[in-house]
Amino acid sequence: MVSVAQPRLGFHHVNSIRLSARAAGQCLDYAGIDPCDIGLLINTGIYRYRNTGEPAIAALIQETIGVNRTTAKDTDNHKNTFSFDLNNCGCGLLTALEIVEGSVRSGEIDYGMVVTGDAEPFHRLSNEFTFNSAAAAIILAGSGTSNGFSMFRTYSYPEYCEELVSSTFYGNEGWNRKGRNILNVMQKASYSDVCVDCAVKSLFKFLDESGKTLDEIDLIIPSQSPLGFTDKLKKRVGMNGNLIEIKKTGNMVFHTAGPAFALKKVWDDNRFRNSKNVLFLTTGAGINVSLALYQN
Amino acid sequence: MDWKCQIESIGVKIPGTRVTTPELMGKFKTPCIKKFGLLTGISERKICSSGEDSFSLATDAAMNCLSHSRYRAEELDMIINCSITKYKNGLSHLYEPSFSTLIRNNIGARKAITFDISNACAGMLTGVYIAEKFIRQGVIKTCMIVSGEYISNLCDHAINNITTSLSSEISSLTLGDCGAAAIIERTADKRKGLIISGFTTLSKYSDLCTGRQNRNSPGGKMKTRAKKIHQAAISESVPIVKEALNKCCLSFNEIKWLIPHQTSRSSIIAGANHYLNYFGEKPGQIVITLKDTGNTASTTHFFALHRYLNERRFSEDDNVMLLCFASGLIIGVVIFKMNEIVYRYGSTN
């Protein structure tokens, strides 16, 4: 089950934790499962409300949606939830899905949830922050069949480590920024081209390892950032209608939640269920490329 | 096949600058805290000096870990950075790329998959939890978990804001900086494998300890309701510890070494007494390493293991329990039998 959330109003500062919790709550509603059955909750958002360091944002989401807030001491079969944050840039969603999938497959948990959401940490205290405020949640359950995720791989390209660097610095300039911690996102002009190169190389390595050909892939659900990534990838891979893109608004892109928004699109129009082989393809700073094969 | 995993090597990096508790108390304009050293058991902490930060601590700890290991950097399959703070180049907090990616590039672990996790002071044990999953499923054979905590800057913030002994920032005065790393490897010896149990987040208590970056000054700040979080951690952890002991068919007195999260001496002793009342038995020894380093957040368990290994206190086949409490509220238990790692540390090395 997948759910997404965006701010209801566009002109005020967005709390990434509330946004993520809204997506998580909706996802639980759609799935129709008891929230207490969620055994593992992983948050993969990077840009969080007021740069909260601890507790993990996942714990705050868990509290907001009311999943196993405390141990039930009066019963022997009480349920617990373990939650933590994971950062693997644009690939975090797939890394977290791999962890949850392993836990579900081994029977350790019945359901696991991956939540991801980004928003500007402090209003107007950032440079080049071109990521939409957006959040998404995905719940994984055991299929009991061979359907589902069958293979995960991550490929690294350390030579491009400095193509995207984002960090805070202590500002000394400007009347409204003097003495403030400013978030600075430095993205080289070549970043999207390099991402596409790395993604294409990784895609063919992955297909080799999985024994599939590109013709056998019915859908590709890719990262929606950096800007222009999906357009260029389409041209290189040539899967026009089956490489899913989300409508862009200006220069703003969907960051960690991008692949989940693309998944939501094909989930709602039933293309996901009707496709035999679905490929998830994510890229992130580092540069890392993560891929996963989902079979129906 | 379901594989087991074990700790193969541990490395730490302690920064060189020391700040004693009397020196720290001397920084207050109005003395408002009495007997801090006596209550916490902390006589000094080590802090980063110029040129040191979370990244340098983590990288140095990783190199130190490799120097004790049979593995070379290029043989590592996965690196997980588990620190709360991700300061690089002073107090500049890095978001992208992940810290672990930069550590991998620095130590030359070419083929390692990398990602960061963040789970407050339970970070490194959460790293063990994840590494165990990947190893058990046969995805990887070796994983380095690493953390560099540059948290002494929270102490600087607290000094400027504490006016009474009831301040919510008092706990920040216990903090010290440290880097730690450990390699977790696959083993076929089921007897010596790690037992990971009871990792639970009790989010009802998530507001009892919060830390975030300052808006108006470099570094961060932390606010804690110390008494409440201590009481919650102790009372809620009892059934979790009991379940973990049952899982490995051990009684509490068969645990030779209990290494809890290092917060303060008085709270560790109070917790031990609560366990004694409940279980009616106690572990061989409760490890407290606060005196020289303070609370080093996610690195405390592996710092304590490293110190006791170097002091040759462990014997092969000793049962060790790592018990984590962290803001969230996170409770987790790792139980294992000491392996031949005990021969690779200490004076003869």
User: Hey, which residues does B81 pair with through a beta bridge?
Assistant: B116, B146
Mean of per-residue pLDDT scores for chain B: 91
Among all chains, which residue has been given the structure tokens 């809620």? B236
For residue A62, what is the nearest residue in chain B, using CA coordinates? Answer: B203
Buried b (16+ CB within 10 A) or exposed e, A38-59: bbbbbbbbbbbbbbbbbbbbbb
pTM: 0.95
Who among B95, B203, B212 is closest to A62 (CB)?
B203
B4-187 against B192-343: fold identical: yes
Look at residues B324, B17, B41, B326 and name the one whose alpha carbon lies nearest to residue B153. B17
Query: Does an H or E element contain A293, and which?
Result: strand A288-295
pLDDT of residue A2: 67
* Distance in angstroms between the alpha carbons of the first and the last residue of chain B: 36
Q: What are phi and psi for residue B238, nearest 5 degrees?
A: -55, -55
Alpha carbon distance A153, B209 (integer Å): 37
Q: Where are the alpha helices (DSSP H) in chain A?
A: 16-31, 57-65, 92-105, 191-210, 229-237, 258-268
Chain B residues touching A180 at Cβ < 8 A: 215-216
Least confident of A6-20, A239-253, B137-151, B193-207: A6-20
ipTM for the assembly: 0.94
- What token pair was written down for A193? 């081209």
For residue A74, what is the nearest residue in chain B, using CA coordinates? Answer: B239
Least confident of A99-103, B22-26, B178-182: B22-26
Task: Please give the sequence-ordered ranges of beta strands (E in DSSP) within chain B, or none if there are none.
Answer: 4-13, 17-20, 44-47, 78-81, 87-88, 92-96, 113-118, 142-149, 178-187, 195-201, 209-213, 220-224, 257-260, 285-286, 319-326, 330-337
- Percent of chain A at pLDDT above 90? 65
**CB-based contact B58:B272 (threshold 8 Å):** no
**CB-based contact A80:B200 (threshold 8 Å):** yes
Alpha carbon distance B283, B61 (integer Å): 29
Q: Calculate Rg over the CA atoms of chain A.
A: 19
Chain A residues touching B117 at Cβ < 8 A: 84-87
| pLDDT above 70 for B247 | yes
A166 to chain B, any CB pair closer than 8 A? The answer is: yes
Choose the mutation target among B206, B236, B295 for the interface with A, i.e. most A CBs under 10 Å.
B206
- Identify the CATH class of B4-187: alpha beta
- Domain spans in chain B, listed from the N-terminal domain onward: 4-187, 192-343
CATH code at B192-343: 3.40.47.10
| pLDDT above 80 for B83 | yes
DSSP string across B14-41: --SEEEEHHHHHTT-SS----SHHHHH-
pLDDT tens per residue across span A187-229: 999 999 999 999 999 999 999 999 999 999 999 999 999 999 9
Residue ranges and CATH numbers for the domains of chain A are 2-145 (3.40.47.10), 152-158+187-295 (3.40.47.10)
Chain B residues touching A105 at Cβ < 8 A: 137
| pLDDT above 80 for A172 | no
| pLDDT above 80 for B127 | yes
